Structure formats: structure tokens, C-alpha cells
């Protein structure tokens, strides 16, 4: 009898956990991802702010499964699912489609940016979901300082050195803190005509507080810390407009050449592929065993799934994704070997953390609420622990120590990828200052 085939789509936290849980299963595990690497998304903002290099937080997927012989890794883009024929359609680099049949399917396809219906914002306010995104943001931020240094008109200086971060969730907050540290350490002494420490960093959110899911106290502590670092926090108003000149918030224009979007996420099209019920955000409604109604062989896990627990939807965070992925893998294993299935999925919330600048984080776990250096050390330890391989752990650890001690960054490069940086260059800034009259 041929071995059953388990297709896992997506090698983020959920897909990786599912594949690992199937390590000893007598099955052919096919792991499909658009890229060749697993990226540790919680640290993408450190690539965007030049602390880490892409290689610090990403590992080739097939390296991770080198010794897991039942698993084959395919780089390709899934474009659809046929539930009746039990197959997925995969497109390669040339958009040629092939179909691959499955016995079990795990969709762990995650989420991308959502501009809440304002897709025209995308051009001016890129998001932060992939390594390419993070490198584009890095190029854009560093380029702003380069253009300002070469610019005579002080009015333009101001616009070039104004950075607006839309969205005050963990990514926006961590990004704002890292940017504030960047301008006052690594960049501080590197310019002659501009003072990087005069850069204006504005964090905008429609919510009344930053770090929504955290307690009032921690949210307030994080906000105070950001303000101490010089970050302007503007809450309670959504962004009305984003264009080449900046943003408009509560009727006021903030002139800026560098806007980064971390406000909203949209789930993958898994719901469309399956032609199945989704929640309002478009996430697939799954059952207690993480399968979809009527198909015991189809699992949907992570950011693209919607499951309530204690009457509330589970959040789209790494922990949920990992626990769901592992559960799906274990449940399939039990079905294949014929052992009793695990109990219904139940998310165990270990807590949440967010770092603000240097030496300060907020941590909330059950009734425990901590802020300060201790929380920051815990944050560092946990993030190192969850990196996929020991070589990444060592690399990030050494880079963090280096950056902490010297204030220097690991990767302050603007790399031109042949025409790909069009969007990262500001639209109308003459190189004025250099035309000094002698």
C-alpha cells in the first residue's frame, strides 16, 4: 500500500510546526512555500532598522528538514485546491500549473497586509511581512537620510527626516523604538549637514491606546518609554490619506517621505480556494479539531484560520500558529497509526511581549505584568529560543551584543536590485546642498 501523502502549504510558524510533528509518521510529507526560507517574522523590524541582516532571521526550509527523510520541500506558489479531487494546484516561477494529490491537507498560508480598502496607500506605505519588504523598508529609511544630507532647503530636510509608522501594535511600537535608537546611536555622528537625532518619528493608530491586547498599565508604560525616546504617539484617529507628500491624520497633514504600514493584516485566500465559510476578515472558520466542516482531511491553521475559544476569536500570533500546526500534525499522525486522537485543540497563552527601544520591554503573562530591563532580557531569551536553528541563535546573539555595546548596526546597506528600488526613492528631492556657492 502506498504511503499517505500529507501536503502542508506554507512554511511559517504553523506549517513548520505541523511538518515537525509528522517527523516519525509513515507518510510522504510535502511542504510547499513560495520562498526557499522560513523567516522569523517577529524580528523583521530589526532587519528594517538595520540591526540584523536577512540571513540572521531566515533559514532555508530544506536545511531545517535535511534529516527528516519523509519530508520533501517544494518551492512554488499554491493557486487553488480541488476538495473533490483532493489536489492542490501549484504554480512555478513561470506560472505553469501542476496539480498534486493529497490524503491530508494542512493550509498554513498566513496573512498579508490589509490597507482597509485603501490599496492606493500601498505605493507610499509599504508593509513588513517578508524579507523583501524589510529590505525595501531599510533602503527607504537609509535613503531618506542620504537625500537629506544632500539637500539645502531646510523645509525639505524636515519632510525627509519625518518617519510615520501607521499602526501601534507590537510591530509598529517595536519599529518606532528601534528607529529612535538608530538615529541616536549608529547614525548620530555620520552626517555633516543634518543632525539625525532631530528626526521626527510619529506613531499613528486609530485605537485609543498602543499595544491593544496589553493591559492599560503596560500600554501606558510603553507609551511613556516611546515618548522618552522622542517618538510622537498619536492615537484615536485613523489615517485619512497617504500619498507622496505624507499622511493626513485628523485633518492635519504630516509631511513625510517615509511611511511604513503595520496597521492591518488580511488572511490568505485559503477561504476562496476551499469555497467555504469565513469570518468577516476572510479567515476560514474551523472546528475544534482544526478541520473544516465536512472535510476531516483538510486542516486550516495559523493566521488564516478563525477559531473561537471562551467566546473570543484566537489572535493571529506566532504562538497560536505553532500550537495549531503541531496539533494538526499530531492528529494526522494518530489517524494514520490508528491511535486515539488528541483532545480538542485548546490554545495555551504563554503571554505577550513587546520591546521598546533598548533595555526595555513589556511582558504580560496571565496575571503577571512586568516592564523594564527584566522584561527585555526575557524578551531576548524567548526570541533567541524560538529561532529555527542553533546557528541563527548564535548569529543573532552575537549581533545583539555587538549592537548593544557599540551602538553600531549589522547591516546599514542600501542595495540596488536593478530597478526594484523605484518605490524606495523619494519623488522630488534635488541634490541641492552639494551645489554650494564657492
Which 71-110 residues touch a second copy, going by CB under 8 A?
Answer: 72-76, 90-94, 96, 98-101
The verdict on 426 binding a second copy (CB under 8 A) reads yes
Q: Which residue in 85, 123, 132, 339 binds a second copy (CB under 8 A)?
A: 132
Minimum gap (Å) between residue 346 Cβ and a second copy:
35
Minimum gap (Å) between residue 106 Cβ and a second copy:
16
User: Which C-beta is closer to a second copy: that of 323 or that of 399?
Assistant: 399
C-alpha atoms less than 13 angstroms from C-alpha of 132 in its C-beta half-sphere: 8
The verdict on 30 binding a second copy (CB under 8 A) reads yes
Minimum gap (Å) between residue 137 Cβ and a second copy:
12
Minimum gap (Å) between residue 244 Cβ and a second copy:
12
The verdict on 112 binding a second copy (CB under 8 A) reads no
Q: How far apart are CA 285 and CA 125, in angstroms?
A: 30
User: Which C-beta is closer to a second copy: that of 4 or that of 269?
Assistant: 4
Q: Which of 135, 149, 151, 174 is catalytic?
A: 174
Minimum gap (Å) between residue 17 Cβ and a second copy:
20
* CA-to-CA dists, residue 434 to 141, 154, 156, 161, 257, angstroms: 21, 14, 15, 18, 20
The alpha carbon torsion through 66, 68, 71, 76 (nearest 10 deg) reads -30
- Helices 318-337, 13-21: axis angle to 10 degrees equals 30
Stretch that binds a second copy, among 70-78, 197-205, 262-270, 361-369 (CB under 8 A): 70-78
**Paired strand residues for 253:** 248
Q: How far apart are CA 167 and CA 287, in angstroms?
A: 31
Q: Which residue in 142, 203, 286, 320 binds a second copy (CB under 8 A)?
A: 142
Closest CA to 69 of 24, 32, 106, 10: 24
Report yes or no: 246 and 254 within 8 Å, Cβ to Cβ.
Answer: yes
- Burial letters for 26-56: b for 16+ Cβ neighbours within 10 Å, e otherwise? ebbbbbbbeeebbbbbbbbbbbbbbbbbbeb
User: Which C-beta is closer to a second copy: that of 368 or that of 427?
Assistant: 427
Residues 144-163 that bind a second copy (CB under 8 A): 146-147, 149-150
User: Which C-beta is closer to a second copy: that of 161 or that of 249?
Assistant: 161
User: Which C-beta is closer to a second copy: that of 219 or that of 426?
Assistant: 426
The verdict on 337 binding a second copy (CB under 8 A) reads no
Q: How far apart are CA 105 and CA 291, in angstroms?
A: 10
The verdict on 58 binding a second copy (CB under 8 A) reads yes
Q: Which residue in 2, 117, 294, 340 binds a second copy (CB under 8 A)?
A: 2
The question of whether 174 is a catalytic residue gets the answer yes
The verdict on 62 binding a second copy (CB under 8 A) reads yes
Minimum gap (Å) between residue 90 Cβ and a second copy:
6
List of residues 6+ apart from 19 with CB closer than 8 A: 8, 11, 29, 31, 65, 68, 71, 329
Give residue 39's region: left, alpha or beta (phi > 0; psi -120 to 50). beta
Residues 153-212 that bind a second copy (CB under 8 A): 186, 189-193
The verdict on 23 binding a second copy (CB under 8 A) reads no
List of residues 6+ apart from 438 with CB closer than 8 A: none
Residues 376-395 that bind a second copy (CB under 8 A): 391
Site for a second copy (CB under 8 A): how many residues?
78
Q: Which residue in 23, 55, 295, 407 binds a second copy (CB under 8 A)?
A: 55
- 3-class DSSP state of 58: strand
- Annotated catalytic residues are 174
Amino acid at each position: 500500500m502506498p504511503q499517505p501523502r500529507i501536503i502542508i502549504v506554507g512554511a511559517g510558524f504553523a506549517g513548520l510546526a505541523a511538518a515537525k510533528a509528522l517527523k516519525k509518521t509513515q507518510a510522504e510529507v510535502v511542504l510547499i512555500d513560495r520562498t526557499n526560507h522560513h523567516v522569523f517574522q517577529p524580528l523583521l523590524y530589526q532587519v528594517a532598522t538595520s540591526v540584523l541582516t536577512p540571513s540572521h532571521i531566515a533559514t532555508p526550509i530544506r536545511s531545517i528538514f535535511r534529516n527528516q527523510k519523509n519530508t520533501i520541500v517544494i518551492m512554488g506558489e499554491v493557486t487553488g485546491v480541488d476538495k473533490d479531487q483532493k489536489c492542490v494546484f501549484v504554480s512555478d516561477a513561470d506560472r505553469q500549473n501542476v496539480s498534486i494529490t493529497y490524503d491530508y491537507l494542512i493550509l498554513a498560508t498566513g496573512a498579508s497586509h490589509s490597507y482597509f480598502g485603501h490599496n492606493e496607500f500601498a505605493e507610499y506605505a509599504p508593509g513588513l511581512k517578508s524579507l523583501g519588504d524589510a529590505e525595501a523598508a531599510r533602503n527607504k529609511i537609509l535613503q531618506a537620510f542620504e537625500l537629506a544630507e544632500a539637500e539645502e532647503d531646510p523645509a525639505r530636510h524636515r519632510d525627509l527626516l519625518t518617519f510615520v509608522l501607521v499602526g501601534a501594535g507590537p510591530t509598529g511600537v517595536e519599529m518606532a523604538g528601534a528607529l529612535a535608537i538608530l538615529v541616536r546611536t549608529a547614525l548620530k555622528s555620520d552626517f555633516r549637514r543634518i543632525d539625525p537625532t532631530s528626526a521626527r518619528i510619529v506613531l499613528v493608530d486609530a485605537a485609543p491606546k498602543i499595544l491593544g491586547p496589553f493591559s492599560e498599565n503596560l500600554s501606558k508604560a510603553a507609551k511613556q518609554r516611546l515618548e522618552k525616546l522622542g517618538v510622537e504617539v498619536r492615537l484615536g484617529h485613523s489615517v485619512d490619506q497617504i500619498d507622496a507628500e505624507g499622511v493626513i491624520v485628523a485633518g492635519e497633514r504630516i509631511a513625510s517621505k517615509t511611511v511604513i504600514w503595520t496597521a492591518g493584516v488580511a488572511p490568505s485566500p485559503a477561504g476562496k480556494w476551499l469555497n467555504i465559510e469565513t469570518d468577516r476578515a476572510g479567515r476560514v472558520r474551523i472546528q475544534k479539531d482544526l478541520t473544516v466542516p465536512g472535510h476531516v482531511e483538510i486542516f486550516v491553521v495559523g493566521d488564516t484560520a478563525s477559531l473561537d475559544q471562551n467566546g473570543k476569536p484566537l489572535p493571529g500570533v506566532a504562538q497560536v500558529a505553532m500550537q495549531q500546526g503541531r496539533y494538526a500534525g499530531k492528529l494526522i499522525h494518530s489517524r494514520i497509526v490508528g491511535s486515539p486522537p488528541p483532545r480538542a485543540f485548546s490554545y495555551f497563552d504563554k503571554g505577550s511581549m513587546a520591546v521598546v527601544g533598548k533595555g526595555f520591554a513589556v511582558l504580560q503573562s496571565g496575571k503577571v505584568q512586568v516592564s523594564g530591563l527584566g522584561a527585555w532580557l526575557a524578551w531576548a531569551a524567548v526570541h533567541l529560543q524560538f529561532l529555527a536553528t542553533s546557528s541563527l541563535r548564535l548569529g543573532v546573539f552575537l549581533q545583539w551584543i555587538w549592537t548593544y555595546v557599540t551602538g553600531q548596526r549589522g547591516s546599514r546597506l542600501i542595495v540596488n536590485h536593478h530597478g526594484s528600488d523605484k518605490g524606495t526613492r523619494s519623488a522630488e528631492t534635488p541634490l541641492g546642498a552639494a551645489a554650494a556657492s564657492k
